[in-house]
Structures are given as structure tokens and as C-alpha cells.
Structure 1
Amino acid sequence: MEEIQQTKKGFVAKALDFIERKGNKLPDPAILFFVLMLLIWVLSAFFSTVSFAEIDPRSQAPITIINLLSGGSLAAFLANMVTTFTSFAPLGIVLVAMLGVGVAEHAGFINAGLKTMLSFTPKALLTPMLILVAIVSHTATDAGYVLVIPLGGVIFYAAGRHPLTGIAAAFAGVSGGFSANFIPSGIDPLLQGFTQSAAQIIDPAIQLNPLNNWFFTSASTLLIVLLGWYITEKIVDPRLRSVTVEVNSEEQPKMDALSSKEKKAFWVSCGIMLLLLLGLYFWAAPADSALRAETGEIAVFTAPLMRSIVPLIFIIFLVPGVVYGMMSGTFQKSKDIIDSMTKSMSGMSYYIVMAFFCALFIDAFAKSNLGALLALKGASALKAMALAPEITIVGIILLTAFVNLFIGSASAKWALIAPIMVPMLMQLGISPDLTQASYRVGDSVSNIVTPLMPYFPLVVVYCQKYVKSTGIGTLVSMMIPYSIAFMIAWTIFLLAYWALGIPLGLQSTYEYIAP
């Protein structure tokens, strides 16, 4: 371990110290949104006296800045504060989805699924299957951090391999491949909500599909699995072979198998989930289905099916979760189901607080017209630079990856960046769908190398179970190869995906054409 730690002396150690010092000086995201809202107020008062030549695409008149510190604006702010918060698009989307997923998670259904997928995997395919399961775990938000990562150490140790290799591979899949998943999850409508709110600064009528990046994130799953597999076997594992595992014989970890009762509950629940999906398919299949739009189309925003993505996530996880809980004994009475929802919501309490201040900030940013002005100014500057759109997208990925070193929350970062980047790139003809996809790449790749990521210290603790001297530098040294490789390969993958014109997701586009 000393050999590993020595490799982190010098530049990397200094860089980590710098990032940690600067990151610790940042206020909490909720406070940051509040401070930014006050700043918007002050700037709106100042720039409201300035005339600008830029033409507002919404009114075709020179853009004007609204003074939010005027008596009328302050009165409107107080009168509309509650509705501004309750109508904040991402809030209801996330909470409703998490109610269903929370039941499945606390019942043990999701955990049983992850263990089942890993239990029948051949040793030769242990690494790619672990990374795949880690990616799938995003469906249950943070379940991967508390289940898949420590389980990765257990199953690698049980298979006679170094447990830190398993932890590194699982961490790469859970966090480094955060935006790769072929199963829709709560993060999709969450980010789409921020993207749509930002896009409406320029185009109030624009509507985006919650699964506007689904095809791209699905295809990215294969990329992350294959790349993570190669890095694990060729770089990380050989480097860890000389590191002694410090586990007493009586403390040797074992992967708890599902009991016969849990197995039966799991497969019955999977069958019910399949029946729900089949029922949805047969309901939507007829040309005159009530789930289709009036035109008969099913993949357009006006189709009831597309507007029901979040409720469907709620139902498809809720019902199997309840069945599993009742059959396995996790749920003894109906109140246990409600308790699981309550636990799920208690875990969202911080998000609700952050969403309150975020909603006020975005509302102020939009009403002041500063967001539109910044977008127009930024678009003019980018047009003058005559940069290729591809270079602009690469710039967004790099910017996001850098900001991610200081602000770990995906939603908090996008809430800050989206109101600026989405409208600005719309002025350059780049769609919000593509901008969001580039953000998702940058948001993932640097997760695994920043000590400021909330679960980073927890992963260090997982490693210390096997190697007592493990520290932040040790974990970063293990994860840097993944981070660099994911950054380069995923960026190239997005550009190639774009060049081939493959749809990013449902109702997605690469170009934005103003109405």
C-alpha cells in the first residue's frame, strides 16, 4: 500500500489538496441558490437602466431587463412564492417517482434483483456483470453506493480476487457511469425538468420528453461496461495484486444468499412486473388506444403515454415491491408500505429544501431577462469565434466535469448550468436534448475522483475493511484510469453518435429551430 500511496505524492496530492480546500469554501447548494437569487435581483436593478441592441426572439423587440427590486416585482415575488415552488417542474416528478422506487427498495425487491444477477455469473464475466449491475442500480438512486459497491468487494474476495478491485469496478459503474443506463430512472425526468425550464427562457412553448436521452444512455451502457472491464483487468487489478488484504479468518466476508422464501417472492414479483409491462404494451398497441395522441402517434409529447412516464415508473416499481415485501415478510402490515414511502421521502428532504431555493433562483433568472440576455450575448460571442458545434459540446463536457469536482449533486449543478447553457446553445441552433446529453457525460466522469462527492468517504471506508491503510489518495489513484478513459471515450462516443444522426431519445433532436 505504501507503494500505491507513494505514486500519489507530488502533483496529484497537491491537486487534491487544492480541490478539497476550494471545494470546502463553497456554500451548501441551497445557500448558493439563495445567494445567486439575491445577486440576480441586484444585477436586474442595475441593468434595467441599460439599453441593449440584442433582439429578444420571443418578442422580436430589443431585450429589456426587468428590475426585480422594484416595489411591484417584490410584491409579486411574495404573492407568488408558494406557487413558484409548488409548480417547479422537477419537484413533483422526482417525488412521485421516488414513492414507487422507495417501496421496491425498502421491501428488498431491488436488492434481491441485484444479488440474483450477480449470483449466476461465471467468474470470467464477473467484472463486466458487476459493472452492469452497478449501472442498473441507478434505477434506485443511491442504492448502488450502499449495496453494489460493498457487495463488489465481497464477491471478488469470495472469488479469490482482490476485494479492492471489485470495489473499484463497482464504483466506476455506479458513479463514473452514472449517466449510462438502459432502464429509465428518476434521474431522466429530473434533468429533463431542469432542461425544459431553462429552454423555456427562450422558447416558452417548448416541451421536452422525459426520455429525451434514453437511446444515448442505453448505448452508453455497453461502452462503459466494456471500457470499465478493460481498465479493471489490465490496469487496476494488476496494480493491486501486490497489496496485502488484511482480513482475519473469522471476519472473512460472505455474500448472503437469498432464502427460498425470498427467491420465490423475487420471481413472483418479477412476473408481476412483466405482466404490468405486457399490459401496458397491449393497452398502447391499438391504433385507437387512449394512450396515443389524437393523431395516433405514441412517441410525441402530447400522447398520454409520454405524459405518464413518471406515474408509470411509480406503478411499475410499487406493485412488485409490495408483492415482494408481503411474500418475503419485509412488510407485515399495510402500514409498512406507507412507512417505506415515508422513509423514501425523508431521504428526499434535502432535495426539497434545495428545490425551494432553486425554483426561486430560476424564476428570478427567467423573469429578469438576464438569462435571455446572457444567452444572446454568449451566442453572439460564440458565433464571432466561429467554433464548430462539436468543439462547443466538448467544452460543455469539460466545464461540467470541472464543476463536478466542487458540487457533487447532479441536479444542483444542472440547475446552475442549464439556465445559461441551454438557452445560449439554442441560439446557436443546438437542441436542449444534445446540450443535456453532453452535460450528463461531464457530470459522470469526474464523480469518482473528487473527495467532495458525498459517498466518496464511504467508499474509502469500504476499502479500509480489507486494507486498513487505504486513504483518499489511494482511492483516487485507483479511479483516475477510469475517469480519464471515460472522459475521452465517452466524449468521442457522443460526437460519433451525433455524426451518425442516431436519435438521442424519444422526440429528441440535435438542432433547435426557433418557431
Structure 2
Amino acid sequence: MSSSNTDAQTQKVKPIDKFLNGIEYVGNKLPDPAMIFLFSMLLIWVLSAIFSNYTFSAIDPRTGEAIVVNNLLTGDSLAAFLANMVKTFTGFAPLGVVLVAMLGVGVAEHSGYINTGLKLMLKRTPKALLTPCVILIAIVSHTATDAGYVLVIPLAGVIFYAMGRHPLVGIAAAFAGVSGGFSANFIPSGIDPLLQSFTQSAAQIIDPTIEVNPLNNWYFTSASSLFIVLLGWYITDKIIEPRLNKVALDGDTDDLPSFDQITDTERKGFYIASAVMLAGLALLAYAAWGESSPLRSKEGSLTDFKAPLMQSIVPIIFLVFWIPGAVYGFVVGTFKSSKDMIDAMTKAMHGMAYYVVMAFFCALFIAAFSQSNLGALLAIEGAEVLKAMQLPSAVTVVGIIFLTGFVNLFVGSSSAKWALLGPIFVPMLMQLGISPDLTQAAYRIGDSSSNIITPLMPYFPLVVVYCQKYVKNTGIGTLIALMIPYSIAFMIGWTLFLLAYWGLGIQLGLQASYTYG
């Protein structure tokens, strides 16, 4: 009797698993992601026609005038839609990033260079520390803009598979670090001065003389790196992996790297190819070193988004993988001629066909959402409601985090969102005695935490494709169910971390403060 009760309890589904299974079931009943983007675009058209008939009092901070919803169902708008369709698709930024990077990665992968590199790395990485290492690398990848999405996330799946762990666990951990932990990084990147520029212009609405340091959140984002790694590690190993261990692999894993012994030829080829890559990076560093370097912005910065170096990150990623991959292939013998190298690049594009289709509809939807001004209206009206509530300082900061997280489900771009919300949040909180530095830190938490649960995020469909390589029936619901524990934990845990950080009075960054006035 007792044994039977024990077995029944063992077979009981944990409440969290029941909740996540429900989300997965409902989510996977949704249409294909490409169709979701198409239907969403049509819905935006209809809503734009409805709301264009209303007058709103909310002021658009970008123009200084009352916000207006643009009707996308007029004859002129539909004609412009057709005329610009090709340009909208080919100008979709994530598409070029993914395809160009994957061309280089394809050469490195199919030559065997990545395979050998992973085998060498696995020999030196304790299995118990694999999860935090992957999350940390994912966080650091922010420095190279979108490199994490096209490199770290798929490689994490391969590494976990090679270690005998479920590959979707690695993909989830890396996705959490790359996207959910977007604002956690101890290495300054181009996003810091970009957000600072919006923060400073917003603060000068109240105080024309105020200046904000580009690294005003650096200490906080550095401390957040450790916090996100630890929190993500716990969620991955204690919540995500036990659930995924019940999911069988049915994808095509035959073309995954084999992780048997490394031959002397492979080892030699890897070291030669890596030496060539390091020599190229050293040459790049030398070219960027001088103050008059053409890789710097007009102001002399290397990390400014306008700097040619920052704008060349994707081509650099292509070369960093293509050159050593080619060298390795010819040294080891996997490449006999240039045709073999071209074949490797072609194979890499085969796996991207489905993403290209989704990117087509995604590009059209995002363009329609932006042109309609509905996203801007949602952000501005939400901020106005928060302002009218006149909550205590700490509660207001928490409200900003959660409101930003909600708006982020519809307006993905960090800079575009801050361009809308910054001129409202920053002056509003300055009048409450809260500094622009603290307001920006709060914004960054909300901006990161919900990235990983919105299918409207441009790279979300790509991560679905990565998962389908191992589990064919992976859908939107599967990925959302995987990432919700991270999103909830990051939103709540990171908010509490900021409040504790604030309570202890630890400096947020360079020349930063918590109070104004």
C-alpha cells in the first residue's frame, strides 16, 4: 500500500511542469511562425485603420507633437507596401547578419575546424561547470552585437549533445544568456553610449546642463553578469534539464560533429588555423590602435555604433570563421579544392531556408508595426498611466521595469524603445529625485528579461530552427515554455538585485548617482 502510494506520488506531474506543458500545448497549437507574422501584419493594418480615426493627447517625444496612428489600409499605403516589399525584406537587418555569419561558420563547421576546437575545449571543461560557462560566454557575446544568436546558441546545443546532455538544455541556457541577460555584461559595448545618448537628451529636458557618462551603468551591469550566470545556472540544471530529459531526440543528428579522439593531423591543422586567425585579429587590433585609425568614429571611439569597427562586426565574424576553416580544411584534407569550400558554404545555407521564409514575413510585420505608430502609442500611454499613479520611488522603479518588460513584447529594439520611453521616464523620475542613471538601469532590466518569450523578437524564429534540428516538432510554444522560467526569474530576481544594490549604495557606474537634485 505504502509502496503503491509512493509510486503514485512519483508519477505525479509537478505543478511547474503542468504549467509549462500547458503553455507548450497552447503555444504549439498556434499557426506556423511565418503565418503568425502574416496574420499579425494584417491585424496591424486593421487596427491602424480603426485607431487612425481617434485623436490622442499623448505627445510623441520624437516629434514633440501629439502622436498620430497612421492608416495602413489607404490606397497610398498599400501601394507603398507593394512597392517597398522587396526592399523591406532585403533591408531586414537580422537576415543579413545571420546569412553572412553562417557562410563563414559553414566553412569552419564542415571543414572540421569547429569539431576539433570543441573536442579540445570539452577535454578541459568540467561537465559540472558547463552550464555557467555557456551562460557566461553568451553574456560576453553581446560585445559583438548579434554574434551570440548565430554562434553561441547553436554551438551550445552541439556542446551539450557531445557531453551527453540534452542539446535543447544548452540552447535554452545560451538563449537566456544572450537575450535574457542582454543588459548584463562586464565588457562595455556599443549599446552603452547608444542608450546614454537618449538618456542625456531626455534628462536635458529638465536640466539643460546635465551630462550622463556613457558607462553610467557599467558597475551594475558587471555585477549583474555574475548574478545572471548564477541564477541561470540554477534554473537550467534544476528546472529546465529535468523537464527536457523526458523529451526524446528525433532530429537529424547524423551530421553533428563526432567527438572521438583527436588525430595528430587534426591537432596540427587546428593549431595552424588558429594561429592564422590570431594573426588576423592581431592585425585588426593594430589597425584599430591608432587615434587616426579609419576603424574609429569621427570622435575617435571604437565602441560607438557609428564606428566602422562596430559596423564591421558581422563581416569580421565571417572572416574569423571562414579563414581558419579554409586553412584547417586544406591542411587536414577535408577540402581538396575550392569547390569543396563552396559546397560547405552551400550546405550552411540549406539549414537557413526555413529561417529566410520566416524572416520575409517577420520583416513585413515589423515594418507595418513601426509605420502604424501603434507600438509608440502603446509605450507612451503606458508610461503616462504609470506617471499618473504617483507611486513611491522604489515602487515606481519597479513599475518601470515591469512596464518596459511588457512593452518589450511588442517593440523589440532596445534603442527604439528607449527613444520613446526615455523622454517620459527620465524627466518624470528626475522630478521625484531619482537620477537618470538609476532610471536607465531599471529600463535595461525590463528590456532584457522578456526578450526570450516574445515570438516578435526577430531572432526568436531562428532559435526555433536550432531546436528543430534535435526535436522536429519544436514550435513556438515549446520555446516559450522553455524560456518562461528564465524570464520570470530574471524579471523578479534582477529587480530585487537592483533594489538591494541601490539599498547598499553601491555605485552604478562612472560618474553615476541614485538621486537628482
Give the shorter-chain TM-score range.
0.5 to 0.7
Specify the alignment match of 2:508 in structure 1: 501
1:379 corresponds to 2:398: no
Q: Following the alignment from structure 1 to structure 2, what is the Cα–Cα distance between the partners of residues 416 and 226?
A: 26
**Comparing 306-315 with 345-354, which one deviates more in the overlay?**
345-354
The Cα of 1:311 is off from its aligned counterpart by: 1.4
Q: CA deviation at 1:422?
A: 5.0
Structure-to-structure mapping, 1:238-257, within 5 angstroms: 256-257=260-261
Quote how far apart the aligned CAs of 1:282 are: 0.7
- Structural RMSD (CA): 4.9
Cα deviations by residue, 1:426-473 (Å, 9 ceiling, x for unpaired)? 3434799975664444445999xxxx9677788789xxxxxxxxxxx9
**Counterpart mapping for 1:173-322 below 5 A:** 173-179=173-179, 222-223=226-227, 226=230, 256-322=260-326
Give the deviation of 1:103 after TM superposition.
2.1
Alpha-carbon shift at residue 283 of structure 1 (Å): 0.6
Superposition TM-score, scaled by structure 2 size: 0.67
| Same amino acid, percent of matched pairs | 46
Letter of the 2:398 counterpart: I
Mapped pair 1:148 → 2:155: no
Letter in 1 for 2:424: L
Kept after mapping to 1: 8 A contact 2:369/2:375: yes
Match of 1:249 in 2: none
Structure 1 partner of 2:141: none
1:96-495 → structure 2 map (5 Å cutoff) = 96-121=100-125, 125-129=126-130, 131-133=132-134, 136=137, 138=148, 140-144=151-155, 146-153=157-164, 170=170, 173-179=173-179, 222-223=226-227, 226=230, 256-386=260-390, 388=395, 390-392=397-399, 394-395=401-402, 425-429=421-425, 435=443, 438-443=446-451, 489-490=493-494, 492=496
What is the letter of the counterpart of residue 23 of structure 2?
Answer: I
Segment drifting more, 42-51 vs 422-431: 422-431
- CA–CA distance in structure 1, aligned partners of residues 348 and 53 of structure 2: 48
Alpha-carbon distance in 1 for matches of 2:442, 2:109? 32
Question: How many matched pairs?
Answer: 430
The answer (yes or no) to whether the contact 2:291–2:300 under 8 Å persists in 1 is yes
Indicate how the Cα distance of structure 1 residues 214 and 144 shifts in structure 2: closer, same or farther if over 3 A, else same.
Answer: farther
Contact 1:169–1:232, Cα closer than 8 Å, also in 2: yes
Q: Are 1:95 and 2:91 an aligned pair?
A: no
Distance between the aligned counterparts of 2:343 and 2:116, measured in 1? 20
Corresponding position of 1:248: none
Is the 1:176–1:486 Cα contact (8 Å) retained in structure 2?
no
Gaps of 5+ in 2: 1-5, 139-147, 203-215, 244-257, 427-438, 456-462, 473-477
User: CA 1:381/1:415 → structure 2, altered by over 3 Å: closer, same or farther?
Assistant: closer
Quick check: 1:371–1:419 contact (8 Å CA) kept in 2? no
- Aligned-pair distance for 1:77? 1.3
C-alpha spacing 1:219/1:348, structure 2 compared with 1 (3 Å) = farther
* Residues 173/152 of structure 1: CA separation in 2 closer, same or farther (3 Å cut): farther
Give distance in 1, aligned partners of 2:87 and 2:168.
44
Instruction: Say if 2:70 and 2:371, in contact at 8 Å, map to a contact too.
Output: yes
Deviation string for 1:294-317 (max 9, x for gaps)?
333322233211221221111112
Using a 3 Å threshold, how does the CA distance of structure 1 residues 258 and 348 change in structure 2: closer, same or farther?
same
The answer to whether the 8 Å contact 2:61/2:420 transfers is no
For 1:305, what is the secondary structure of its paired residue? helix
User: Could you give the per-residue CA deviations for residues 161-197 of structure 1, whole angstroms, max 9, x where no partner exists?
Assistant: xxx6x9798567445544469999xxx99xx8xx99x
| CA deviations over 1:257-303 (Å, ceiling 9, x no partner) | 21111111111122122111111111111121111223333222332
Q: Is the Cα–Cα contact under 8 Å of residues 394 and 491 in structure 1 kept in the other structure?
A: yes
Cα offsets for 1:49-79 (capped at 9, x unmatched)? 2222222333333222222111111111111
Provide the C-alpha distance between the structure 2 equivalents of 1:68 and 1:182, rounded to a whole number of angstroms.
34
**Gaps (5+ residues) in structure 1?**
154-163, 204-211, 241-253, 404-412, 462-472, 504-508
Contact 1:145/1:455, CA 8 A, preserved across alignment: no
Q: Tell me what 2:53 maps to.
A: 49
Rounded Cα–Cα distance in structure 1 between residues aligned with 2:319 and 2:414: 30
